[in-house]
Amino acid sequence: MKFRKKINNTKAMKKLLITALILQCLGISCNFPSNQKGDEYNEQLQGFTINQKTALDSIQFKIYNSFVKCIIDKSVSPLNSIFDNLDNLYGENPNNIILYWEGYLLYYKAIYFLKINDKSNSEKSIVEGIDILKDMKKKNSEDYALLAMLQSFSVQFSPGIKASFASDKVKRYLRYALDIDPSNLRTNYVCASNDFYTPAKFGGGKKVEQYLLKAISLPDQKVISAFLPSWGKEESYAMLVRFYIDKENWGSAKKYYQEGLEIFPESFSINQYAPKLIGK
């Protein structure tokens, strides 16, 4: 069996290298179908003009590509430009979908600043994202899952007992997300991530496998739309492989490594574990 896939072009290699940078940034935690019915989302989108819908089309990938450009250009301008567009769009038509993507963008902005060792602006960005999501009315499972992920990222900036309070907020937001929709992919992934990075002495590591196995069994989107989130499954496979490697459960590690690569053949986050699986 082969556990390392060849990358045959520079574009793919650049994608892998950028993903590697992200993984390095997210050492303590980390990068959407919804619990809402399709008609509820359609109601939110009905007031948008064609130009506004165009701005939101594939917004998740626009944000990620802008993040990559920020790293290459060594400038936060690409992300700021999209945020300004989203902010203007929200001013024209206030909508939770727009607020969600503002929070998501600020998460990547915080990662960018952390990568260039600007912890002050990283903290400011993540706090801004948290505030936007906290103030959002009628949050759904997707919103709480993202809020929990941002809150988890912020723990590194919280000294002493404040870190404990921040961790409690993460758990609370995840409870809300699970109560609303226990079959949300991103909620299960963030639950797994939070448990994975929680030290065993504080009760961590007990439900990682359970949450990840459920996450990879769920659809990327329950409501198919280019306006809505679809992340989480690739990250879930990568974390599951790492979890089994840590447990020296080589059979399961190889199984989910191969399964993950069938779905995400160019995934650095999964491919990085190939050397550890050779000969096992």
Q: What is the pLDDT of residues 194-229, one digit of tens each?
A: 999 998 888 899 999 999 999 999 999 998 889 999
Rounded CA-CA distance 77/98 in Å is: 19
Q: Are 113 and 83 in contact, with CB atoms under 8 Å apart? A: no
Domain locations along the chain: 12-183
pLDDT value, residue 40? 57
Q: Which of 112, 66, 69, 70 is nearest to 85 (CA)?
A: 66
DSSP one-letter code for 249: -
Query: Quick one: average pLDDT of 143-162?
Result: 94
What per-residue string of b and e applies to 180-192 under the rule 16 or more CB within 10 Å gives b? Answer: bbebbbbbbbbbb
DSSP one-letter code for 94: -
Per-residue pLDDT reduced to its tens digit, 219-267: 999 988 899 999 999 999 999 999 999 999 999 999 999 999 999 999 9
- Indicate the fold that domain 12-183 takes in CATH: 1.25.40
pLDDT band at 181 (very low <50, low <70, confident <90, very high): very high
Q: Which of 120, 111, 117, 151 is nearest to 23 (CA)?
A: 111
Lowest pLDDT segment from 38-42, 154-158, 245-249: 38-42
- Token code pair at residue 1: 């069996």
Global confidence as pTM: 0.85
